[in-house]
Structure formats: structure tokens, C-alpha cells
Amino acid sequence: MNIFDVYKLWPIEPVKAKGCTVWDKSGTEYLDMYGGHAVVSIGHTHPIYIEKIKSQIDKISFYSNSVINSLQTSLAEELGQMSGYSDYSLFLSNSGAEANENALKLASFHTGKFKIIAFKGGFHGRTSGAVAVTDIPSIISPFNTGHKVSFVALNDIDSVKKELSTGDCAAVIIEGIQGVAGIYSPEIKFLQELREETKRCGVVLILDEVQSGYGRSGKFFAHQYAGIEADIVTTAKGMGNGFPIGGTIISPAFNAVSGMLGTTFGGNHLACAASLAVLEVIKKENLIEGAAKKGAYLFDSLVALRDRVGEGVISDIRGVGLMVGVEMKEEYSSVRDSLLFEEKIFTGVAKGNIIRLLPPLTISFEEIDHFIAAFERTIEKTKRD
């Protein structure tokens, strides 16, 4: 049997990793400015993470959701406290798509309505509802088109108001920072107005923090820069540092009805142990404050680099904390591959010419300097070629 060939693979096989360093099969060392797509939050193979998972697996790794699992309660308590959503409830699943799928279902159960307002450029996952609210037509199959979804431009409150006025809307779903699209933050005023308008219309506001959450932005959730509270917040990626786990964080206004949501694997003992380790390390190592500081340093270093290499190379730098997008002029689209193959640095990409920087939150100032120097070398070399 072959692997179903849907991923464009780099010819690299990582076999070992520590902190922000990854080694491939032949022993070549890479700097990880990508975090395996914003997943590795507390760094690779963190000792607390290893210890918690190992000791849990020695006790029990799984039992079904029909018995008490106090690790889930501990996780909910800790997450509530650290995120500022302590009066909300937590439903645990296995991925970002599932966290969103459950959020959309809950919004529809709660309001009795079915239309969803989503945003152009938005990405929310690949399950039926999550992909229907994703603005990438090529990944939406005919089977997924049965949902009623209206896409509006990010930051366009008048269009949102127009859609809300139809009265058939269950929810608005929005990313804390659009990641897959190429790092676009909703304006603070827009988020505040969105909160007001959805509240006024009795429509559920879902904040998808799957990529931008867990401290990456320099706040626990990126939307907290706008000082708003969502009705539902979704998380995944950084939540388990690589162990599959997703969370739907639900306002006390929602009634839990037995059986309305469910999952076999979600919230299993190992996933909870991994996720508790992540929160412990975030707290112990002040990683959220660190993400804000190191993110500002990275951003300033990139601005200085743009000044040195000239605006004809880097057309925009966006983002906050350790979620940064560097938009390159089309002629410099090869820089990302050169960074990987020549400088041995992993980064992410969007639209071919936007480099996405999503390193583990444990990245050091020295590693950021190393990246900037390599980035500059690569740009200068590309200019000459």
C-alpha cells in the first residue's frame, strides 16, 4: 500500500529535535522557524513534556468518555485560569477542524439557525462545516457545499451588518489572526464592533484561535488585544505541542445537553497529560510574555533588514508576537526554499511569496539573530543570481 499522495513533500526526514533545533536522518541540523506549522509551542522534546507523557503512559493512556477522567477537569481549570475564560466550559476533541466543527454545531443548536458568516481568506479546517466556512474553493467538495455560508471581507463591518440583518444567522467565525491566508490581523476596532453587533443580533461569535492561540501572539488569545470576549473560542495546534488535541471553549450561556457532542479519542489521558505539560511550561517559563518580547525583537529586526535590503525586496511585514508574515516581491519567491536548502532553516509559506514565521515560543534572541543573518545572506544571494 502507498501513502495517499496529497502532500508536497520536502526531501527531508527529521528524526530528532530539541528546543528550536531539528536534525534530519543524515545528521544535518535545522533551525525551526516554523514549529511544524505553529504546533510546537514549548519547544521540541521539552523535559517536562516528556516526563508527563511518559509517566502517564505507564499508568493509563486511554479509556472512553463514559468514565470520569479528572485530567480533563484539571486541564479545563488550568486553561480557564490562564486564558482568562475561567467561567467557560471546555469540550475536548483531536484537531482544529473538529474544534471548529463542534463550535459551529453548538452555535446552530443554540440559535436554531444555520447561516454562518465567515471571512475572505479564512481557513478553519477540512471537516464538512469547517471547510465550508473556509475561503479556499479548491478544497471544498460538492458534498461540502450544502452549508449556508456568506463570506465577507475582513474588517468590513458594513457587510457584516448587512448579512446579520437577514436574521437567519447562527454564527460569525473569524480567526484571531488569519494564518493560512498570509498573516492578516483583524483591526481592533473591527473586532470590537463585531462583538457589539453579534451580541445585539443574538448571533454567536466564534474566535478561531487554532493557530494564533496559546500565547503565540503575546496574549493567550490574539483577540484579547481587542479586549473582547468571544462566545466560543477554538484551540488546537500549540495546545498539545504535537500531541493531537483540540478544544472548544464555550460560554456559560450555552446549555450542555447529554449527547449533543461526542468523540471517542477527544480528551484522552495522554492528550490531557501533554496539554497540561504545555500549560505548565508556558507558565513556568513565562512564554506568553516572552512571545511578546521576542516577537517585537523579531519584527524590529525584520524592519531593519527591510531598510538594509531595500523596499524592492520585502513589500510588507505583518503580525504580532511570534506569528509574523514577511511578504516578498514575486522575484524573491525562491528565498523560502533557499532558506531551507542552503541555510537549513524551516519557515512556512502562503501564496508562494509570503514567508510565515511561527517558531516555538521558546526561541532565543540568538536564534532570531541567526535567522535574520541567514535571511539577509539569502536575499543578497538571490539579488545577485
Ligand X SMILES: Cc1ncc(COP(=O)(O)O)c(C=O)c1O
Return the ∠ at Cα 47 (arms to 43 and 49), rounded to 5°: 70
- Does residue number 236 form part of the binding site for ligand X (CB under 6 A)? yes
- Does residue number 242 form part of the binding site for ligand X (CB under 6 A)? no
Residues in 168-197 that interact with ligand X by CB under 6 A? 175, 179-180
- In the complex, which residue's CB is closest to ligand X? 96
- Does residue number 163 form part of the binding site for ligand X (CB under 6 A)? no
The region of 28-36, 122-130, 152-160, 271-279 touching ligand X under the rule CB under 6 A is: 122-130
Residues in 82-101 that interact with ligand X by CB under 6 A? 95-97, 100
CB of 290 to ligand X, least distance (A): 22
- For 178, the grid coordinates are 488569519
User: CB 337: neighbour CB atoms within 10 A?
Assistant: 13
Nearer to ligand X, 56 or 95 (CB): 95
Contact 215, 361 (CB under 8 A): yes
Applying CB under 6 A, which of residues 91, 123, 225, 371 lies at the interface with ligand X? Answer: 123
Applying CB under 6 A, which of residues 125, 266, 290, 348 lies at the interface with ligand X? Answer: 125
Nearer to ligand X, 135 or 197 (CB): 135
Beta bridge mates, 324: 319, 357
| CA dihedral sign, ordered 84, 89, 92, 95 | negative
The contacts of residue 32 (CB under 8 Å, 6+ apart) are 17, 20, 21, 22, 40, 44, 346, 359, 360
CB of 104 to ligand X, least distance (A): 12
User: CB 140: neighbour CB atoms within 10 A?
Assistant: 18
The contacts of residue 369 (CB under 8 Å, 6+ apart) are 301
The count of residues interacting with ligand X (CB under 6 A) is 14
- Does residue number 36 form part of the binding site for ligand X (CB under 6 A)? no
CB of 191 to ligand X, least distance (A): 15
Distance of CA 214 to the CA centre of its chain: 8
CB of 146 to ligand X, least distance (A): 20
What does the per-residue mask of binding to ligand X show for 267-296, with x meaning CB under 6 A? ------------------------------
Closest CA to 157 of 198, 108, 105: 198
The region of 110-118, 206-214, 263-271, 281-289 touching ligand X under the rule CB under 6 A is: 206-214
The contacts of residue 9 (CB under 8 Å, 6+ apart) are none
DSSP letter for each residue of 135-159:
S-GGG--GGGGGS-EEEE-TT-HHH
User: CB 8: neighbour CB atoms within 10 A?
Assistant: 5
What does the per-residue mask of binding to ligand X show for 317-356, with x meaning CB under 6 A? ----------------------------------------
- Across 13-153, where does the E strand assignment appear? 14-18, 21-24, 29-32, 89-93, 115-119, 149-152
- Does residue number 211 form part of the binding site for ligand X (CB under 6 A)? yes
CB of 130 to ligand X, least distance (A): 7
What does the per-residue mask of binding to ligand X show for 360-379, with x meaning CB under 6 A? --------------------
Residues forming the site for ligand X (CB under 6 A): 95-97, 100, 123-125, 175, 179-180, 208, 210-211, 236
